[in-house]
Amino acid sequence: MNVTDPTDKHSGRDTERVKMALAAGAIVGTWFWDVAHDRLTVDDALTHAFGLEPGSSHRELRLEQVLSAVHPDDHAELAAAISDALMRGGRYAHQYRARNADGEYRWIEAIGRVDLDAQGRATGFQGVLIDIDERRLIETERDQAQTLLRSFLDAAPGVVYAKDRQGRLLIGNHGTTELIGLPPEQYVGRTDAELLNDPVQAAAVMATDERIMATGQSQQLEEDISFPDGRRAYWLSTKAPLRDADGNVVGLIGTSLDITERKAAEARHREIEERYRLAARATNDAIWDWRMADGQVVWNEALADLFGHDRMETDAQWWLDHIHPDDRPRIDADIHTVIDGGGTIWYGEYRFRRADGSYADVLDRGAVLRGTAGEPVRMIGAMLDLSGRKAAEAALAESEERLRFATEAGDMGFWDVDLVHDVLIWPPRTKAMFGISPDVAVRLDDFYNGLHPLDREATSAAFAAAADPAQRALYDVEYRTIGKEDGVVRWVAAKGRGHFEGDRCVRVVGVAIEVTARKAAEARLKELNEHLEIRVAEEVAERTRVEDALRQSQKMEAVGQLTGGIAHDFNNMLASVIGPLDLLSLRLGESDPLVSRYIDMAIDGANRAAQLTQRLLAFSRQQPLQPVPVDANRLVSGMSDLFVHSLGGTIRLETLLAADLWLAFADANQLENVILNLAVNARDAMPGGGRLAVETSNCTIDAGNAEQHPGVPRGEYILITVADNGCGMSPEVVAKAFDPFFTTKQVGQGTGLGLSQVYGFVKQSAGHVKLCSEIGRGTTVKLYLPRLVAEVAPVAPAAPSGFRMPAGSRELILVVEDEPTVRQFSVEALTALGYDVLAADGAAAALVLLDQHADIALLFTDVVMPEVNGRELADEALRRRPDLKVLFTTGYSRNALERDGVIAPGVQLIGKPFNVDTLASRVRAVLAETR
């Protein structure tokens, strides 16, 4: 039966299969199905094969009759295949199981074709059935064998593959796929030259494969393989020739294990071993390994290098024997404590004997290795020679001590920053610069946190530059710190350098010194420089003022020296005039008024001359003062008559006296003269009349009001203010008002000594005077006299002259005066007053008379005399006669009776010139004193 369709592309294959079936006797039968009339015709063979009724092959059959022999599991697929063939027409092929006449299901393959009409409808369906049951069994066994082979290959470790005689890959397992990095369809049929990246490697692999196939000998080798994707791998390969059934070599089979990781591990292991070996050599430690089983200790070569023992293996006892006898029991006990107690780590310091007999300081460390039962098996350790370190530590300690002494001597502190361990070392002096107590631990953060925020960036940059291996800059900075504990801002100057090991900075070390005082001085200097012109102008003005004051002081001193030089002799001359005139006036009485008037005129002139001398002494501050507690209120009140007499009727006087006024300590008579002098000056400034105010008050000058009293030191004063509303003075006049002999009055109307006397008296009384005046607004003079703090009663002002002179009671008085006329006047005046009188011209004669006359009651002596002055005479006289009364007289004492211009306490003095009234009062008062 011809079932070939020359137009079917599969017809050739189907024809071949039919021929093979005919040759093998595997044709089951043929069929023809008239689809249009649904008539199925089969041959006898098919009828027999399916157990149909005999003779039915030539009759029309139903399709269901044939399909009933199909295995139930294959019904659906067969129906679908037939339906598909009827729809598309052309070739048809399908395999299924069908039951034969014996009731056995066998595999059948139907091969046929469907004819279609012009409208595409199926008209006929014919074909042949072939028994393929044997073939299916062979294919199943083949598939099972291939599955088994694939499972075996995929389960095999590593890489398993086969190549043909040309080196093309025939098959490869899952390992091969993973190793090559390509799916099987992309590497099967390709050679190593096409798969490997390195042509040299590929050529070497293929040469090895060719040698194995040529020689027929198996071989195991390591292969270094590089792939196109850049990977590199090491294979351990076993290769053998692949033979056919006749033993001919037709290819090569091989297995390869990827040993890349193992090779890398081996390389790492070798590297680690080498690193440990080099590390052991670099540390220069004596490495030892103590085997507990046999007691042997294995050493490395450092034992010889460090300690001179030229041996690599000893026993444990040799080791112990070389430990210093004083250290041996301790070390032996410590080691066995760790071993027997289940410990692991031991370390200790001891002395180890060198080959030359000397001992080295060592630090030994060991670790116990134990078996599965915990028993000690080995102990491995390292012995470090500390001898050099110990010597270095001693040298370092000595160096640090010298550094400490040096920095303390220079008022500096050192610092040490360990950058490896992040440790900061500060001694107490450096801690103090950051406001930290000596016993407080510090960290590197304390340095950065203690920096002033404005200085932190620059200081940190300088430190970084010093620690930078590329720069290695000098750390030279000044910065402010804010005390951690006290909050005080300080200036610190620091210098230092980094210490480097190769290209790494390990430490930065330096010194620091507090420069707060220097910074303050620099700031002040800067401020001075900024205001230099102003300061220079001020200094020039101040220098001019000082020079003017110096010239004024020199002028005053010159005037004082001149005044002092003539005062004594001038006053002696006046005494020779006033005294006799006063006696003459007493003798004449009222007998001749004209003569009495002439005498009064002469006495008045002489007194004015004496006042001029007193003023000269006053402004030059050389007049002898007799200060006493003074109630200024009482003094001013007691001057009422003097004010009325001096001011006249056109001046209205106002006195403003403070309640509870403090006492002053001053010469009452001189103070009265000063106030009167100021009142007279005020009168002259108000020729048309006006107002004069004299005010007293307590005045305390402190920080709160000091600027209201310029030039007056702080303290407590009695303030006496004399103010008028006269014509006032210009600033030029005010500036010279206290100058001696300066006056604005007409010639002959003033001496120019009034305000000079005021100034001299106040200054001599430790006080101050201020003058304020403006043209047309009057003048105000303020006298500041120090307050007397002691509780004493004030002295009443002296009684006015004109009272009855006290007479003597024939007391014996010794008069000592080197000026004959003054001596004679004194003797005659005292005699006229009722006293007995002895006279001497000097101290020597006076002492003789004193020894001769035990009844002398009073020594009346001049102060300034040749050879022995009056004060020295009085001292000697009092030594001989402690009960003797002494009255001094002088025209100028030249400090004989004074202390800082003030008459010494207890000294009684009558100034020259004096009249009979004054002499009578003072003599009587001295004689009446009780000691």
Q: β-strands 286-291, 249-258: how paired?
A: unpaired
- Cα 50 to Cα 100: distance, rounded to the nearest angstrom: 5
Backbone torsion region of residue 924, taken as left when φ is above 0, otherwise alpha when ψ lies between -120 and 50, otherwise beta? alpha
- Cα 399 to Cα 394: distance, rounded to the nearest angstrom: 9
- Cα 559 to Cα 425: distance, rounded to the nearest angstrom: 73
Helices (H) and strands (E) in the chain, counts: 29, 35
Decide if pLDDT at 586 tops 80.
no
Name the residue among 906, 900, 921 with its Cα closest to residue 871.
906
Tell me, what's the pLDDT at 878?
93
Name the residue among 344, 510, 521, 516 with its Cα closest to residue 427.
510
Whether 180 contacts 211, CB under 8 Å: no
Tell me, what's the pLDDT at 5?
39
pLDDT digits 0-9 by tens, 243-272? 988 889 999 998 888 888 888 888 887 877
Q: Taking the model in full, what pTM does it have? A: 0.33
Tell me, what's the pLDDT at 589?
65
Q: 896: pLDDT confidence band, cut at 50, 70 and 90? A: very low
Sequence length of the chain is 931
Structure letter (DSSP) for residue 58: G
Task: Please give the average per-residue pLDDT across 91-111, as a whole number.
Answer: 90
N-to-C CA span, the chain? 189
**In terms of pLDDT, which residue wins out, 334 or 565?**
334
Q: Write out 645-660 in H/E/C secondary structure.
A: HHHCCCEEEEEECCCC
Give 890's contacts (C-beta < 8 A, 6+ positions apart): 568, 571, 624, 862, 863, 864, 870, 896, 897, 909, 911, 912
pLDDT digits 0-9 by tens, 653-664? 999 999 999 999
In 119-184, at which residue ranges do the beta strands (DSSP E only) sit? 122-131, 159-164, 169-172
pLDDT digits 0-9 by tens, 143-177? 776 666 666 666 666 788 899 999 999 888 887 88
Decide if pLDDT at 563 tops 60.
no
- Cα 470 to Cα 503: distance, rounded to the nearest angstrom: 8
**Mutual orientation of helices 820-832 and 916-928 as an angle, nearest 10°?**
70
Tell me, what's the pLDDT at 68?
84
pLDDT digits 0-9 by tens, 635-645? 998 888 778 88
Element (H, E) at 109: strand 105-116
Cα atoms in the 13 Å half-sphere on the side-chain side of 460: 13
Tell me, what's the pLDDT at 230?
75
- Cα 842 to Cα 817: distance, rounded to the nearest angstrom: 6
Task: Please give the average per-residue pLDDT across 825-844, as a whole number.
Answer: 92
pLDDT digits 0-9 by tens, 610-638? 656 665 555 454 556 678 899 999 999 88
Whether 349 contacts 361, CB under 8 Å: yes
In 208-271, at which residue ranges do the beta strands (DSSP E only) sit? 219-226, 232-243, 249-258
**In terms of pLDDT, which residue wins out, 393 or 202?**
202
Tell me, what's the pLDDT at 617?
56
Decide if pLDDT at 4 tops 50.
no
Give 867's contacts (C-beta < 8 A, 6+ positions apart): 842, 843, 844
- Cα 160 to Cα 139: distance, rounded to the nearest angstrom: 25
Whether 898 contacts 577, CB under 8 Å: no
In 371-459, at which residue ranges do the beta strands (DSSP E only) sit? 376-385, 413-418, 423-425
All structural domains of the chain, each given as residue ranges with its CATH number in brackets, are 11-138 (3.30.450.20), 156-264 (3.30.450.20), 284-385 (3.30.450.20), 411-524 (3.30.450.20), 632-786 (3.30.565.10), 812-928 (3.40.50.2300)
Whether 638 contacts 797, CB under 8 Å: yes
pLDDT digits 0-9 by tens, 14-54? 555 555 544 444 688 888 998 888 888 888 877 777 777 66
- Cα 580 to Cα 600: distance, rounded to the nearest angstrom: 12
Whether 788 contacts 664, CB under 8 Å: yes
pLDDT digits 0-9 by tens, 784-820? 999 987 665 565 555 444 445 677 689 999 999 998 9
Average pLDDT of the chain is 82
- Cα 149 to Cα 786: distance, rounded to the nearest angstrom: 133
**In terms of pLDDT, which residue wins out, 352 or 54?**
352
Tell me, what's the pLDDT at 56?
56
| Full DSSP string of 65-93 | HHHTTB-GGGHHHHHHHHHHHHHH-EEEE
**In terms of pLDDT, which residue wins out, 10 or 871?**
871
Decide if pLDDT at 647 tops 80.
yes
Token pair belonging to 528: 């001075």
Tell me, what's the pLDDT at 782?
92
**In terms of pLDDT, which residue wins out, 130 or 597?**
130
- Which of 197-206, 508-517, 670-679 tops mean pLDDT? 508-517
Token pair belonging to 688: 């048309």
Whether 904 contacts 897, CB under 8 Å: yes
pLDDT digits 0-9 by tens, 711-720? 888 899 999 9
3-class state of residue 345 by DSSP: strand
Decide if pLDDT at 112 tops 90.
yes
**In terms of pLDDT, which residue wins out, 463 or 277?**
463
Whole-number percent of the chain with pLDDT over 90: 38
Task: Please give the average per-residue pLDDT across 116-131, as a whole number.
Answer: 91
* Least-confidence region, from 476-490, 533-547, 737-751, 830-844: 737-751
Give 397's contacts (C-beta < 8 A, 6+ positions apart): none
- Cα 644 to Cα 652: distance, rounded to the nearest angstrom: 10
